Each structure stands twice: as C-alpha cells, then as structure tokens.
Amino acid sequence: MIKKIAFLIVLASLVLAACSPAAPATEAAGSAKVFGQADCAPNCTYKEMTLCYPQLGAESDWRTANSASFKETASKLGVKLIFSDAQQKQENQISAIRSCIQQGVDVIALPPVVEPGWDAVLQEAKDANIPVIVVDRSVSADPSLYSAHIGSDMEIEGKRSAEEFNKLLPNGGNILELSGTTGSGAAVGRAKGFREALNPNIKILDSQTGNFTRAEGKPVMEAFLKKYAGQIDGVFFHNDDMAIGAVEAIKAAGIQPGELKMVSIDGTRGGFQLMIDGWLQADVECNPLLGPQVMDLALKLMNGQPIEKEALTDEGVFYPDKAAELLPTRQY
C-alpha cells in the first residue's frame, strides 16, 4: 500500500512538472548571463547604475559641454557618475579606467583621446564583466573588446567641410589645415574625409596640429602666416577653439574678415560668433550632448537587452545667414 501511494506521488509530480511553463532561457542555462548584465537585470533602473566616465580633458568648449551633459544627465536620472579629467593624456585615462574596474562599476563610457593603445585595458574590463561604450572619438582596438560606439561620423564632418571649400573656392586655391590632436579619431577621420571630398584644384599647402585648443591654435596660425604670406586663400580648422585662437593671429596680421575663406567644425557659441563677425563661412556640426544617449544604452546593457553596436549622431552644417538668430538658442 505504501509503495502504491509513493508511486502515485511520483507520477503526479512528473505530470505537474511536464505541464508547468518553461523557465526563461537565462535561468535554464544556469550561469549563462548576457555579458555585462547586472544582478538587478532585467529590472535595473538608473538609480542602480554606477557609470565611469574617464573624460579625456577640458581642451575645448565642445569638451566642456560634453562633460556638462554627462554630469547633468547623471544627476537628473540618479546615476552615480565616476568622472575624471585625464588632461589629454592617454596614460591618465588608462589609470582612471583601472580604478573604475577595481571599484566594480556597472559600465565604462570611454571618450578616447587617441585611437591606438586600448587593447590591454579593454581586455581587463571585459575580463571583469564590465561593458565599455566608446564615446565620441573611435578606437582602433578589435570591436569585440567593447560593446558599442556612440558619437559623430568624423569622416563625414571632414567631407562636409571639403564640400564647403569646393563652393567657396570654385576656381581652386591654396588652403591650410589646423588639425586636431595627432592620432585622435576626430583628427584622423576629419583629415581623411576632407581629402577624399576636396576638389583637386584646391591644394592643401600645409597641415599642423593645434591640439584642439585656442592656446596652441594661435601660434600655429602665426607661423603659417609668416611662412605662406600672400599665398593663402583659405583655412580649415578641425575645431572652433583652434579657429578662435587663429583668428587672433589673423587679426594681428591685419587681415580683414572674409579675405580668407574659413571653415571650422563643432558649432559652438564661439564658432557662431566667428560667423557673425564674418570670419567663418561655415561651421560643421559636431554634437557633444551625448549623456542621455549613453546612459540609456548603459541601462540596456545592465538589463541584458540587445543594443546597436554603432550609433552615429545626426548632424548638419551652420551658415552665417542664420548665425545671429540661432546663437541665443545654442546650448554650447
């Protein structure tokens, strides 16, 4: 009799098990969690997120706006932000990333100062199950070492700048290039796109870095003006801060607004003012307000949701005719 009852209990439990709904794939697979998924998944909220942002520096107005976007978005959403300023030095960014790994952050968002040299530290983050979102500039590391890239298409920005010169100098001419930080994704991409789209009758006489800063842009322009006096028709700037520094040198040389055709990149308030004052004929947009988009993606990673590997910002070109009207509405 006891044997009969035991048999019936086993049979009933087998029938019940067969009829109950299947467990979710992640549970059935035991420890097979999606890479980067947090313990709170799939219900993590911003309040549970610790985000590391090893900012590359404070070299430009664009960068200041980018840092502000991360700080303001984090405080609005309740994200704990670990922010640092690497002063344009890759070794400082790498140390900041290592410190974030030790602290066990949920996600690292990295705006890389230059393209090469990230493989080892990205591998360390990966080994610690911390996803990395590459922000703004690109890296040359293997894409399997980071989860996503969010930022501008630097080659398109260079191409757009060249198209402006093609219109400004239809009969050709000689131009100079003040390029961004050597080896940075922004400088490499802009230089490449620019050369690919520039009409062959426009010659780049020289290209020197101004490291994306006003302070370095001015002496580079002074040297250019001495070396190429009387031979220049235009100047291409990889960012507005270098254009602002260079305009000081151009003014000091007695050159009037409009004498040289000039195109820059960023679309900051400073760039808009240069357009209003007649120095710049076009400013190609590069949007620094990436905080909300990056934090949205970081939350998806924590929750183990699918994400896009590459998210490029939609941007355009600004011209002097609308500059005065738009300046008061500019956020950076």
| Min CB(328)–ligand AHR separation in Å | 21
φ and ψ at 38, to 5 degrees?
A: -90, 170
| Min CB(22)–ligand AHR separation in Å | 47
| Min CB(157)–ligand AHR separation in Å | 8
| 276 contacts 320 by C-beta, under 8 angstroms | yes
Nearer to ligand AHR, 100 or 286 (CB): 286
Nearer to ligand AHR, 181 or 281 (CB): 181
Positions that interact with ligand AHR (CB under 6 A): 59-60, 62-63, 136-137, 186, 212, 239, 241, 265-266, 286
Nearer to ligand AHR, 70 or 212 (CB): 212
| Min CB(231)–ligand AHR separation in Å | 27
Cα–Cα distance measured from residue 39 to residue 217, given in angstroms and rounded to the nearest whole number: 48
| Min CB(259)–ligand AHR separation in Å | 25
| Min CB(154)–ligand AHR separation in Å | 7
Nearer to ligand AHR, 63 or 218 (CB): 63
Nearer to ligand AHR, 123 or 313 (CB): 313
Nearer to ligand AHR, 239 or 281 (CB): 239
| 198 contacts 188 by C-beta, under 8 angstroms | no
Three-state SS across the chain?
A: CHHHHHHHHHHHHHHHHHHCCCCCHHHHCCCCCCCCCCCCCCCCCHHHCEEEEEECCCCCHHHHHHHHHHHHHHHHHCCEEEEEECCCCHHHHHHHHHHHHHHCCCEEEECCCCCCCCHHHHHHHHHCCCCEEEECCCCCCCHHHCCEEEECCHHHHHHHHHHHHHHHCCCCEEEEEEECCCCCHHHHHHHHHHHHHCCCCEEEEEEEECCCCHHHHHHHHHHHHHHCCCCCCEEEECCHHHHHHHHHHHHHCCCCCCCCEEEEEECCHHHHHHHHCCCCCEEEECCCCCHHHHHHHHHHHHCCCCCCCEEECCCCEECHHHHHHHHHHCCC
Residue nearest to ligand AHR (CB): 62
Nearer to ligand AHR, 132 or 265 (CB): 265
Nearer to ligand AHR, 131 or 271 (CB): 271
- The partner residues of 207 in beta bridges, in order of sequence, read 177
| 223 contacts 189 by C-beta, under 8 angstroms | no
| Min CB(291)–ligand AHR separation in Å | 15
| Min CB(132)–ligand AHR separation in Å | 17
| 243 contacts 249 by C-beta, under 8 angstroms | no
Nearer to ligand AHR, 62 or 146 (CB): 62
| Min CB(248)–ligand AHR separation in Å | 17
